[in-house]
Amino acid sequence: MAIKWKKRNVSIVVLYVAAISFLLTGLFGFARGGAFSGNFRSCAALLRNSDFQKTGDFQNFISSRLSCFLRMACGDYVSDNGYYSSDSYVMGTDTSEYMEAVAEEGALAAESDEAEWQDSAQKNQMAKEKKASADAFHNRIQPDKNILYRISYQGTECYSNMDEISWQYEEGRKDLPEGYNFLLYFDGTKAVIQKDGKETDIYGDGIYREEEDWYLPGYKNYPGKEKWGKAKIVILAAEEPVLYTGDDTDDGYWLENDFYYLYQNYVEERNQIRSSTAYFCLGLILLACYLYFRREKREAGKYLAKLTAGMWFEWKALLFFVLPVIFFLCLIHRDGAYGVWEEYASELGYAGVGMTEYVSEMTGYVLSDLWYQRTGVLLVFWLLYLFFCDLRNNRGSCKNGIFGRLAATLEQKSFSLPLSKRMMKRSYGILFLTLAQLCFFLGLLVFILAMRYRIEWIYPYGVVEWISGIASVSLVITAALLITEYIWQKKNHRTALDLEQLSQRISVIRDGNYDDEKAIAAEDADIRRMASELEDIRKGLETAVEERTGSERMKVELVANVSHDLKTPLTSIISYIELLKQEEDLPEHVRDYICILDEKSERLRNMVQDVFAVSKAASGQLPVEEKELDLGKLLYQTLADMEETIQKAPVTIKTEIPKEPVLIKSDGGRIYRVFQNLIGNAVKYSLEGSRVYISLEKEGNLAVASVKNTSSRELNRQTDFTERFVRGDVSRTDGGSGLGLSIAKSFTEACGGTFQLETIADLFVVTVSFQVLE
Amino acid sequence: MNECILAVDDDREIVKAIAILLEKEGYRVLKAYDGMQALDLLTQNSVQLVIMDVMMPKLDGLSAVMRIREKQNIPIIVLSAKSEDTDKILGLSMGADDYVAKPYHPAELAARVKSHLRRYTSLGDIHAAGQDKLTNGRLCYHIAEKILYADGEAVRLTATETKIIELLMKNPGRVFPAEEIYERVWEEPNFVSENTVMVHIRRIREKIELNPKEPEYLKVVWGIGYKMEKKER
């Protein structure tokens, strides 16, 4: 059962760990995809859309190329400054940014046009430069066969990287070369896009909207330049771009493969988002499963906490909290030479409009960074989880540590102090802390006021007022707190003193001084009430104890008096019987009478003594002098002492007593009486010719002595033989007082032993046991 | 002999019985029935021993004992119906020499009276312990002669009994286990049971104790061994 439960538990813990891990991984992935920095839509689009050529990036790339080609065609300055160059590509660059860049470019171009007109002397020079830039651009991009293009101006082809591409594309021939599935044809006013053999309507209602449309000339609100009307451009895009490597020495240009990298980024991003989504969904499913089993999880948490319970708190805090947190901070810090935290801090310094946005962006950035260290982060997370699990489940776990132990020791030390002192000590701590707080605020206020003019240089106007205002309010509150606390503590102190009186009173009563009458002068009403109630209890106890002791004393006194009153006449009887016995010339039958008198008076004497002893023992007034003694030896001594009686009796004694000492602590004289009575009884009431067994053995830490004999008379099972004056025979004709077993029992119990009597048919077994001394 | 004994008890019959008993032994007996009477008689007569009951009208026995002790050093035997140890100790500390619990055996009382008188009158020198004498209460053992005297009278002991008494008298108060007594007296390893030693002890008791059933000198320390009780006087 336990193992089953354990297995189940472990599996639930694994489930929980997996669920949270997957969820977190998914979350990091989303962050990486830009979900937290506002690019949520693009993420959603990535998920929805598996076609690269439908992405904004692709559209922008093609638009940008078209714009460049148009410039090349018209002989304008071409400055494609590598907007999509692979190393400066930043995830999440949105369309608007790009649009701005393009607009700027356009303005620059326009400026240069104006300059052309103003300074005709430099016209040729400018044209040459423009031509050179166009050539350079063509040289740079033409080896990248992922994008094929053909540019013509006024019917003549100026640039192309196609081998044998005719203009047939524009006339509706639909089969593109193998590996290419995208065609853009610009006829001077409008562009036609043909994808996978189908023509796409790009203009719609003819109005350009930033969000969804291609940024191509031909809209009503973006008609394009007039001179572009003479240009014709064909662009072909590969379905799956590949990496082109060229000759390194080729004109000093290196192959850029912009398009390929754009595609790769897209693929990577898409895969990322997809896997993140998968992780996230899996995490959600697992979490749902876990929620179903969450009750067992709590058990599992407790189980986990039990594992960590034994550790010292400081170790736990270090291992599961401090180190993970440091590790986490290092993880975040590691990547950027420009620390994230510095950026955070410096940014927080400007309380600006875009702060929340900025923070969310930064958080997204940080989280996306975490994607790369997800294993480490998960480790940190789980260590922290262990720590908090421990905190939650192991109550008082923080006490199990160096500081906890120190505190416990101090507490223990203070336990030796009286209650009021302890209470005061605790309150001193609070008072001291409040005082420290007061001093701090006072110091702060003084500091601010003193440094006021210097601080104002650094911090904006108003901060000083704010801080000093807060400090003074805190100061006032703390002062009020201090005064209140002081008054309370004073009152508490008085209450504590009252309590101490009360506790002293309780210990006085506990010590058994019921008759000590003393009122408690408590100031606190509740304590006064308690004190008066305590007095009531004391009075009740006093009366009860007095009644009890009174009745006990009366009983013992009664027995003592009775026995005394019996003893005095008995003395006379015995004395005169003795005198009678010494008379010489008495008839024989008178001598017999005297003999009988002698015998009976002796029995009476024994009885009186026994009654006295048993009543004393029963009322717990038997003086007991406990000493270390050997129970085995005591039994031998008793047997030796009673040898005469035993030899006269018609029974045999069988002993089973170990030779090695069986040490107990008891009153030897009393125990002797016990065994004397027991053996005497056994000898007296045993069946003729039977055996009496006397044994002693150690049973654990008990020394058990037993006397077993077979009764000569039938034993009545209902009889309690230890009852006073009860005897095996009802006629009471033999010489016993009927107190033997009663004395044995009460003496045994007075000496700290246990007395047990058992009858099995006619077998009479008495067991007396004592604690063995080690 | 004719020593004078004062018997004091509020029970006239008891006093009478004591008187008859002791007069048979040859003592002169004065009778008193309360403490005051006893004190009066003591001033008028020369008394050698007092037998005093504790509970009496007018002046109780213990107070009377204290008053007697202010003037006289005669032996006093206290009789009491209280048989508890505490009562015994109290009586003895008040100045009594002996304590006999009621109901007593007349023979025991007579023996005690005899013992105390012998020590008080004829054998005043018994306490002058010599180098070859071991004295303990009423017992005195002469080492050289190997004879034990009880109240100045030689006790007839067998050779083994004498050895046991010598061992115990030399170490009063010390508890000897039976094995040790056996080994030191019989001078051979102990193979016999407790009985052998016990039998001898019992026999010695019958010879030296006034009441062998409640021994004063040779005591059993239950569960440990045997000892010779050390007496103050």
pLDDT in tens, A294-327: 777 677 777 777 777 777 777 777 877 888 787 7
pLDDT band at A89 (very low <50, low <70, confident <90, very high): very low
**Of B109, B94, B205, B91, nearest to B148 (Cα)?**
B205
Is B165 within 8 Å of B205 (Cβ atoms)? no
CA dist., res. A231 & res. A72, Å (int): 10
Q: Which residues of A703-739 are buried (b: 16+ CB within 10 A; e: fewer)?
A: bbbbbbbbbbeebeeeeebbebebbbeeeeeeebbbb
**Of B185, B81, B50, B44, nearest to A569 (Cα)?**
B81
Cis before B103 (ω within 30): yes
State whether residue A643 sits within 8 Å of chain B by CB. yes
Is A542 within 8 Å of A514 (Cβ atoms)? yes
State whether residue B222 sits within 8 Å of chain A by CB. yes
pLDDT band at A62 (very low <50, low <70, confident <90, very high): confident
Helix or strand holding residue A183 (H, E): strand A180-186
**Of B221, B227, B181, nearest to A630 (Cα)?**
B221
User: Tens digit of pLDDT for each residue in A681-719?
Assistant: 888 888 888 889 999 988 888 889 999 988 887 777 666
CA dist., res. A763 & res. B54, Å (int): 48
pLDDT band at B7 (very low <50, low <70, confident <90, very high): very high
State whether residue A444 sits within 8 Å of chain B by CB. no
pLDDT band at A488 (very low <50, low <70, confident <90, very high): confident
Q: Domains in chain B, ordered, with CATH?
A: 4-128 (3.40.50.2300), 133-228 (1.10.10.10)
Is B50 within 8 Å of B94 (Cβ atoms)? no
Q: Between A564, A623, A664, which is nearest B85 by CB?
A: A623
Three-state secondary structure readout of B208-229: HCCCCCCCCCEEEECCCEEEEC
- Cα dihedral A115, A120, A121, A124, rounded to 10, equals 90
Q: Measured between CA atoms, how close is A500 to chain B, in angstroms?
A: 42
**Of A451, A443, A511, nearest to A475 (Cα)?**
A443
**Of A686, A678, A685, A666, nearest to A767 (Cα)?**
A678
Is B198 within 8 Å of A641 (Cβ atoms)? yes
Contact B224 A623 (CB under 8 A): no
For residue B199, the chain A residue with the least C-alpha distance is A640
Q: Measured between CA atoms, how close is A745 to chain B, in angstroms?
A: 18
Specify the DSSP class assigned to residue A77.
P
pLDDT for res B29: 92
User: Tens digit of pLDDT for each residue in A137-168?
Assistant: 777 777 777 787 878 777 777 777 776 555 55
User: Tens digit of pLDDT for each residue in A497-509?
Assistant: 888 888 888 888 8
**Of B138, B133, B9, B36, nearest to A568 (Cα)?**
B9
Residue whose structure tokens are 């992935």: A29
Helices A419-458 and A402-415: crossing angle in degrees, nearest 10, is 140
**Residues 519-578 in A contacting B (C-alpha not used; CB under 8 Å):** 560, 563-564, 567-568, 570-576, 578
Q: Measured between CA atoms, how close is B104 to chain A, in angstroms?
A: 6
State whether residue B192 sits within 8 Å of chain A by CB. no
Chains A, B: CB contacts within 8 A come to 106
Average pLDDT, chain B: 83
Is A770 within 8 Å of A702 (Cβ atoms)? yes
State whether residue B195 sits within 8 Å of chain A by CB. yes
pLDDT for res A252: 45
pLDDT for res A732: 46
CB < 8 Å to B87, chain A: none
Contact B222 A572 (CB under 8 A): no
Residue whose structure tokens are 């605020």: A441
A603's CB contacts (< 8 A; 6+ apart) are: A735, A737
CB < 8 Å to A617, chain B: none
Determine the average pLDDT of the residues in A545-563.
Answer: 79
Q: Which of A557, A574, A575, A659 would you mutate first to test chain B, the one with the most B CBs within 10 A?
A: A575
Q: Which of A562, A563, A572 would you mutate first to test chain B, the one with the most B CBs within 10 A?
A: A572
Above 70 in pLDDT, residue A370? no
Percentage of chain A exceeding pLDDT 70: 74
pTM tops 0.95, yes or no? no
Higher-confidence residue of A279 and A720: namely A279
Highest-pLDDT range among A68-82, A176-190, A234-248, A621-635: A621-635
Query: DSSP characters for A509-562?
Result: HHTT-TT-------SSHHHHHHHHHHHHHHHHHHHHHHHHHHHHHHHHHHHHHH
How would you class A506 by CB atoms within 10 Å of its CB: exposed for 0-12, middle for 13-18, buried for 19 or more?
A: middle
pLDDT for res B18: 92
Above 50 in pLDDT, residue B24? yes
CA dist., res. A240 & res. A259, Å (int): 10
Above 70 in pLDDT, residue A408? yes
Determine the average pLDDT of the residues in A415-429.
Answer: 74
pLDDT band at A731 (very low <50, low <70, confident <90, very high): very low
The alpha carbon of residue A352 and the mean position of all alpha carbons in its chain are separated, in whole angstroms, by 41
Helix or strand holding residue B31 (H, E): strand B28-32
Instruction: Lowest mean pLDDT of A13-22, A106-115, A514-523, name the range.
Output: A106-115
State whether residue A647 sits within 8 Å of chain B by CB. no
**Residues 657-676 in A contacting B (C-alpha not used; CB under 8 Å):** 664, 666, 668-669, 671-672
Report CA-CA distances (Å) from A276 to A15, A41, A270, A544: 19, 16, 10, 81
pLDDT band at A336 (very low <50, low <70, confident <90, very high): very low
Is A89 within 8 Å of A261 (Cβ atoms)? yes
- ipTM exceeding cut-off 0.90 for this assembly: no
Higher-confidence residue of A76 and A709: namely A709
User: Tens digit of pLDDT for each residue in B99-115?
Assistant: 888 888 888 898 889 88
Reading across the β-sheet that carries B225-228, which strands appear in turn? B175-176, B225-228, B218-221
State whether residue B14 sits within 8 Å of chain A by CB. yes
CB < 8 Å to A636, chain B: 178, 193-195
Interior CA angle at B144 toward B140 and B145, to 5°? 70
User: Tens digit of pLDDT for each residue in A278-288?
Assistant: 888 888 888 88
CB < 8 Å to A637, chain B: 178, 194, 198, 220, 222-223
pLDDT for res A337: 39
Interior CA angle at B69 toward B64 and B73, to 5°? 130
State whether residue B81 sits within 8 Å of chain A by CB. yes
Above 50 in pLDDT, residue A1? no
Q: Which residues of A326-354 are buried (b: 16+ CB within 10 A; e: fewer)?
A: ebbeebbeeeeeeebeeeeeebeeeeeee
Residue whose structure tokens are 């004591």: B18
Q: Which of B222, B227, B229 would you mutate first to test chain A, the one with the most A CBs within 10 A?
A: B222
Q: Between B106, B193, B202, which is nearest A578 by CB?
A: B106
Is A361 within 8 Å of A37 (Cβ atoms)? yes
Interior CA angle at A408 toward A406 and A414, to 5°? 105
Above 60 in pLDDT, residue A82? no
pLDDT for res A368: 60
How would you class A579 by CB atoms within 10 Å of its CB: exposed for 0-12, middle for 13-18, buried for 19 or more?
A: middle
Q: For residue A36, what are its two tokens? A: 């937290």
Average pLDDT, chain A: 75
A391's CB contacts (< 8 A; 6+ apart) are: A397, A398
**Of A519, A500, A488, nearest to A426 (Cα)?**
A488
